[in-house]
Structure 1
């Protein structure tokens, strides 16, 4: 029994010596214990390459200046604005009509020409005030003619900025009083720097020439 205990003590002493030599001493000196065989080269550690990306820069798109010449607004497929063909919506956000100062001189910024119903492309009006002149409309039958123009907010297709509707009573009255068109068939908007498009519906209309106008003083800015 005594010899067996002596043998166990010898084994424990050998283990303690190996721990001191292989682990504790190298750890104290900052060296890793040799885990590879004799004559084998020490493994090398290759660092992971991290690509250096240039910082992202956003260059704002310059807004072209207006040259003072009217631009034509074309028509597009109504589906571009997710509007089902022939859909009629209630006017729930039409602002009260306003009038510009009497001394304001207006110049034409853009035009919409046509005969049939349609939806226009988007036009940006970079001014704080503008006017829609719809006085140039020719009818084929005043008794049943109808003209409807919906001014839409391009950034919020659910918002109706203004709805203009002319029916047979308006055309008959304008025929009796020709000056009525120039006096009343227009609307001034006191909002701008915004994108709009127009939905037009016609019945018995030979032609229409709509004018988007801005104060002449804006040309000097």
Structure 2
């Protein structure tokens, strides 16, 4: 199997598993599992393809539908065996983010030829599914959490894109982008890495700012 396609399949599977785990935390029925698994697994890629005006990937290759469906059913019957579903969700989300940062950048670069657009597409592909999952599940959005999230996707997509532009071997670019994104996001989960946040001037509350 093409390693690029394999990585894409893995990304859909782990993101779908994260969506299904979110459904288990809300004690949804099997339809809720399928819906959240699908939205999380292919939401980012769907948004990317619509923006670029290309055929939506899972409508062209129905294997993706089978992957998110099988993953949702598997999690439905096994989620209760997991001691900490939230922690597993975070790590699955990190794996999916790393894979999709690379895949989104690769598709953006192949369609547009622009490195800037490639990085943006990598970030959208990697993060939109998680944002959609949290919105649908009523969880605090990943965008509002203090630890690094989008920055990890930017790092992975940038490393892949720069490697491609430098003429590096494709596998090296893919692994490099994946590892950078996963290490950054994994460090945020494990060690609480975060970037500085905006703070109001002393003596002024945020609600007092016009």
TM over 0.5: no
Structure (1/2) with the larger helix percentage: 2
Greater Rg over alpha carbons, structure: 1
Q: TM-score, normalised by structure 2?
A: 0.29
Relative contact order higher in (CA < 8 Å, ≥ 6 apart)? 1
1 or 2, which has the higher strand percentage? 1
